Amino acid sequence: MKIVAIVLFICITAVTISFGQLGITSDNTAPNSSAMLDVKSTDRGMLPPRMTFAQRNAIVSPAAGLLVICTNCRPDGSETMSVFLDGKWRNLSGNCTLPATPAAGIQVQSNTQIIWTWNSVPIASGYKWHTSNNFAAATDMGTATSKTETGLTTGNGYTRYVWAYNACGNSEPVVLTGQAFACGGPMTKPHTAGTVAPVTKTVTYGTVTSIPGAASKCWITRNLGATQQPNTVDDATELPAGWYWQFNRKQGYKHDGTTLTPAWTITAIDEDTNWDPANDPCSLLLGATWRLPTTTEWISVDAAGAWVNWTGPFSSGLQMHAAGYLSRSTGIITNRGVTGYYWSSTQNTTTRSWDQFFSSTNSSQSNDNKATGFTVRCIRD
């Protein structure tokens, strides 16, 4: 007579024999239809027998697929899983899996404090945080995914490193950048003449948020390198104009109306790239969290602000004015007080890139020659 079903309870585990199948479960469910043996648990594993190399090899006529844990079968004498296949004992190569590198979260920045955040990753036992790329010296954060750092200098930028780790080791670090600064107040930055700033001077930039079309972003309220705000939209003086840049070049230029500093050397640019972050004068002069706006951000701000001519950008919180441009062929200052051209970080073709343009009759996106010198307005997420 065939046994149809027998259910035995040992402690809290149910053993089910059904139509030639064996199920060992904690919830009394039937074995899966495709399995002869079905072991189900959420807090225990299945343990193969353990034996030494000599004991494993002493098994008489091992069947193909026989599985054991050999306690000293690796070259270094450590344990491994062994399976008998094709007439030989074979060690299974099991890699110890490292966790992935965490992704940066949103850094909460105030004038003397940054709350550093990162995202959790699967199979990580914990995280380490440090001020330099040195895992061994890093602070163990346990399973926390944030670190509050206080006592920072207002306006300074900071770089920090976070690793995920588990029993197998640690991931590569995620590099976190932040600035001890709350948007809406002034930010004073010293600029030193060199490969980015054309002259040495200290500038106090105003900052503003809640600009329509980019409400969550922080902007500086004057041009990069500008000593003062413009008095009018057609202000043709040097001090509110600030400095000028060619596309994807980190060197800025000052033009006082007579003299260009430094000398103009590039008259043509032909390359297939957006503005490289390594050349971004916003991050180089203001800190790593600052950058040039994308053309998408300019489009959004222009549309949300209903800009139809230069009145829109000038009357907005950005207070942009017609700072003119530097001729690509000579570097001569042109149309200061007449037109405004503000670079985006987005190219159009290998020789032309997008910018925000306005005059007394128009406000729109324009694409212009990359070698032309335009003013720059900086943004921070």
- Residue of 14, 49, 8 lying closest to 31 (CA atoms): 14
For residue range 38-69, list pLDDT tens digits in order. 888 888 888 899 999 999 999 999 999 999 99
pLDDT for res 92: 84
pLDDT for res 154: 87
pLDDT for res 41: 85
pLDDT tier, 23 (very low <50, low <70, confident <90, very high otherwise): confident
HEC sequence for 324-347: EEECCCCCCEECCCCCEEEEEEEE
Helix (H) or strand (E) holding 16: strand 13-18
Residue written as token pair 């932040």: 178
Tell me if residue 296 falls in helix, strand or coil.
helix
pLDDT for res 243: 98
User: What distance separates the 2 farthest-apart alpha carbons in the chain?
Assistant: 110
C-beta atoms surrounding 238 within 10 Å: 18
User: What number is the average pLDDT over the span 88-101?
Assistant: 87
For residue range 303-322, list pLDDT tens digits in order. 999 999 999 999 999 999 99
pLDDT at 288 over 80: yes
Residue type at position 198: P
pLDDT for res 85: 93
- Domain boundary assignment for the chain: 1-46, 108-179, 190-380
Helix (H) or strand (E) holding 283: helix 281-286
pLDDT for res 1: 43
Give 212: exposed, middle or buried? Use CB within 10 Å, 0-12, 13-18, 19+.
middle
Which range is least confidently modeled, 64-73, 300-309, 362-371?
64-73
**Mean pLDDT of all residues belonging to the chain:** 92
User: What number is the average pLDDT over the span 169-192?
Assistant: 94
Q: Is the peptide bond before 262 cis (omega within 30 degrees of 0)?
A: yes
pLDDT for res 26: 73
Give the C-alpha separation, 45 to 27, whole Å.
15
Give the C-alpha separation, 92 to 334, whole Å.
73
pLDDT for res 36: 85
Q: Which residues of 156-195 are buried (b: 16+ CB within 10 A; e: fewer)?
A: ebbebbbbbbbeeebbebbebbbbbbbbeeebebebeeee
pLDDT for res 14: 60
pLDDT at 178 over 50: yes
pLDDT tier, 8 (very low <50, low <70, confident <90, very high otherwise): very low
pLDDT at 287 over 60: yes
pLDDT for res 214: 95
pLDDT tier, 27 (very low <50, low <70, confident <90, very high otherwise): confident
User: What number is the average pLDDT over the span 133-159?
Assistant: 95
Give the C-alpha separation, 353 to 227, whole Å.
27
User: What number is the average pLDDT over the span 109-137?
Assistant: 96
Q: Which CATH number fits domain 108-179: 3.40.50.1220, 2.60.40.10, 3.40.50.620, 3.50.50.60?
A: 2.60.40.10
Give the C-alpha separation, 340 to 361, whole Å.
12
pLDDT tier, 207 (very low <50, low <70, confident <90, very high otherwise): very high
pLDDT for res 5: 43
pLDDT for res 376: 98
User: What number is the average pLDDT over the span 292-299?
Assistant: 98
Q: How would you classify the pairing of strands 244-245 and 252-255? A: antiparallel
User: What number is the average pLDDT over the span 241-268?
Assistant: 98
User: What number is the average pLDDT over the span 293-300?
Assistant: 98
- CA 303 → CA 322, 355, 377, distances in Å? 19, 14, 18
For residue range 231-251, list pLDDT tens digits in order. 999 999 999 999 999 999 999
pLDDT for res 19: 62
Give the C-alpha separation, 251 to 326, whole Å.
13
